[in-house]
Amino acid sequence: MRIDVIGSVNEIIAEEAANKCVVVIDVLRATSTIVTALANGADGVVPVETVPQAKQWKQPGIWLGGERYGKKIAGFDAGNSPEEYTGPAVRGKKVVLTTSNGTRAFFKAHRASCILAGSFLNLSACAEAVKSIGRDTMIICAGGQDRFALEDGLCAGCLIERLHNMHGTHLQLNDFGKMLHYAARHTTTDLVKLIRECTGGQRLRQLGFDKDIACCARVDLYSVVPVLDHDHIIRPFSGTKVAS
Amino acid sequence: MRIDVIGSVNEIIAEEAANKCVVVIDVLRATSTIVTALANGADGVVPVETVPQAKQWKQPGIWLGGERYGKKIAGFDAGNSPEEYTGPAVRGKKVVLTTSNGTRAFFKAHRASCILAGSFLNLSACAEAVKSIGRDTMIICAGGQDRFALEDGLCAGCLIERLHNMHGTHLQLNDFGKMLHYAARHTTTDLVKLIRECTGGQRLRQLGFDKDIACCARVDLYSVVPVLDHDHIIRPFSGTKVAS
């Protein structure tokens, strides 16, 4: 299996994603939030690009979530903190989500065969899904403010390590993927500490979202793997919904 | 000291290099060749962008070097293998060099306060120069074919590790720099083996330049640090040529 890792949303070239399995990783916080919402029983997550598009969805049974500049948007039900997406809040509802960066990656990779959402929260489950799909894979580190984000790179490196350790999965990595794999494999520092010190972590702390960092660093808390369905709604991966 | 690392020539934003100390790293092979040429007594290296520009320089006392698609250019004195730039070949001559990627970085970073050439060959000397200059620094991993190259990233990570170990050098790294630092610090695999397996190494082997890999992986072979002078000629850094 070939795995290419991309360092930011801006580096996505649509043709290169064509027919691949794509994994979008935005640890702080879009994909952590999507995983949490589905794990807590939301009836799908609709990624949308703009705030006006999100507002058009407003009706009973819809949970509007998202952020701009890290903060909750006026009139929305929630911001982008995973812990806002509890069972009582989102169960049975459709979550409409717009974030500055993470949701964009789903649109830019639209030519992929399937698009999964990866995070530390569903790391092993995500690796299992990638293996079961069995296609050449592109991992997109969504990054922040158009730059590579350390927490996404570490998560990608850990995902590669999971795949590497799976019996029968022979990986061909691009140079960037190799680098992330080395780094993730050998980093012994506490994950929460690492994320608190990186650019995105510092920014969240400044905005008062320090507790989101520990929340997003819980490895394998959930077994759900979000996948973008053909109707552009993200639902749990069941292993049977991948385009051929 | 702040250090930002950039993953490929395409990611250079000229304004972000302004007034900084820039280190260009193109291990395979532009900066390894520039270091070797100066260490062997060349009277400066002139980086030029195009083959016609290089040919305009042709005259006695000029050594034309460079490559396109990895290979020597017709009519040139040498390709881009460091070992072609021996003392008998280049001593006292001006080397005019054009390469697909590495020399481009010198032009894109033109607003920098100073531009150094780094490689494994002059790693410690380069770290000493960066420290003595004492400015905020941008390390450019030149990469290959517009993509991040593992050998450049490892060299950048090793350069950061050298700086990190220097007494009194407190570093603030961007996320990408942190990632490279982790990877370089913990990679225990033999450097030549690593480079042979990365994209650029595989390409050089296919082109018949396998021996260049071991040549470019010799850590601290030379103490020369090439710096782009105000007349656009690269000469050994003497510690007194940095713009204020």
Contact in structure between B66 and B80 (CB atoms under 8 Å): yes
pLDDT of residue A244: 43
A242: in domain = no
B215: in domain = yes
- % of chain A residues with pLDDT over 70: 98
* DSSP H or E run through A31: helix A30-39
Complex ipTM tops 0.90: yes
CA torsion sign for B223, B35, B207, B77 is negative
Lowest mean pLDDT among A229-243, B23-37, B223-237: A229-243
Residue type, A231: D
Strand partners of residue A4: A138
- Average pLDDT for A64-72: 93
B234: in domain = no
Lowest mean pLDDT among A19-28, A82-91, B80-89, B94-103: B94-103
At A42 the three-state DSSP class reads: coil
Residue B160 contacts A, CB cutoff 8 Å: no
How far is Cα B118 from Cα A90, in angstroms, rounded to an integer?
A: 53
At A219 the three-state DSSP class reads: coil
Which one of B175, B183, B200 has the shortest CB-CB distance to A179?
B183
- Average pLDDT for A239-243: 56
- B9: tokens are 């020539």
Establish whether the linkage from the previous residue to B29 is cis, with ω within 30° of 0: yes
How far is Cα A209 from Cα A218, in angstroms, rounded to an integer?
A: 16
Model pLDDT for residues B42-57, shown as the tens digit of each residue: 999 999 999 999 999 9
CATH of the domain at A108: 3.90.1560.10
- Average pLDDT for A79-98: 97
Which residue bears the tokens 């050298």? Answer: B162
Which residue bears the tokens 């092993």? Answer: A124
Q: Where are the beta strands (DSSP E) in chain A?
A: 2-6, 21-25, 45-47, 62-68, 71-72, 94-98, 114-118, 137-141, 172-173, 226-228, 234-236
pLDDT of residue A243: 47
Residue B113 contacts A, CB cutoff 8 Å: no
- Predicted confidence band at B244 (pLDDT cuts at 50, 70, 90)? very low
Which residue bears the tokens 């950061």? Answer: B160
Set of chain A residues whose Cβ sits within 8 Å of the Cβ of B187? 182, 186
Model pLDDT for residues A217-230, shown as the tens digit of each residue: 999 999 999 999 98
Structural domain for A137, as ranges: 2-229
Confidence check: pLDDT of A119 > 70: yes
Lowest mean pLDDT among A61-75, A148-162, B66-80, B95-109: B95-109
Mean pLDDT in chain A? Answer: 93
Residue type, B137: T
Confidence check: pLDDT of A59 > 90: yes
Core vs surface per residue A66-103: b (16+ CB within 10 A) or e: bbbebebbeebbbbbbbebbeeebbeebbbbbbbbbbb
Residue type, B187: T
B73: in domain = yes
Model pLDDT for residues B133-191, shown as the tens digit of each residue: 999 999 999 998 889 999 999 999 999 999 999 977 789 999 999 999 999 988 777 99
Phi, psi of B192 (to 5 degrees): -65, -40
pLDDT of residue A234: 97
Number of domains in chain A: 1
Q: Which residue of A has its CA nearest to B155?
A: A179
Set of chain B residues whose Cβ sits within 8 Å of the Cβ of A185? 186
Confidence check: pLDDT of A160 > 70: yes
Core vs surface per residue B32-52: b (16+ CB within 10 A) or e: bbbbbbbbbebbbbbbbeeee
- Average pLDDT for A75-92: 97
Q: How many CB pairs under 8 A join A and B?
A: 65
Confidence check: pLDDT of A199 > 70: yes
Which one of A179, A198, A200 has the shortest CB-CB distance to B180?
A179
pLDDT of residue B240: 57
Mean pLDDT in chain B? Answer: 93
Residue B133 contacts A, CB cutoff 8 Å: no
Contact in structure between B116 and B140 (CB atoms under 8 Å): no
CA torsion sign for A138, A139, A144, A148 is negative
Residue in B80, B99, B73, B100 with CA at minimum distance from that of residue B37: B80
pLDDT of residue A240: 57
Confidence check: pLDDT of A82 > 80: yes
A236: in domain = no
A200: in domain = yes
At A93 the three-state DSSP class reads: coil
Contact B148 A199 (CB under 8 A): no
CA distance A108 to chain B (A): 19
CA distance A12 to chain B (A): 12
- Predicted confidence band at A88 (pLDDT cuts at 50, 70, 90)? very high
A234: in domain = no
Model pLDDT for residues A162-192, shown as the tens digit of each residue: 999 997 778 999 999 999 999 998 877 799 9
Question: Taking a contact as any Cβ pair under 8 Å apart, which residues of chain B between 173 and 212 contact chain A?
Answer: 174-176, 178-180, 182-183, 185-187, 198-200
Cα of first residue to Cα of last residue in chain A, in angstroms, is 16
A138: in domain = yes
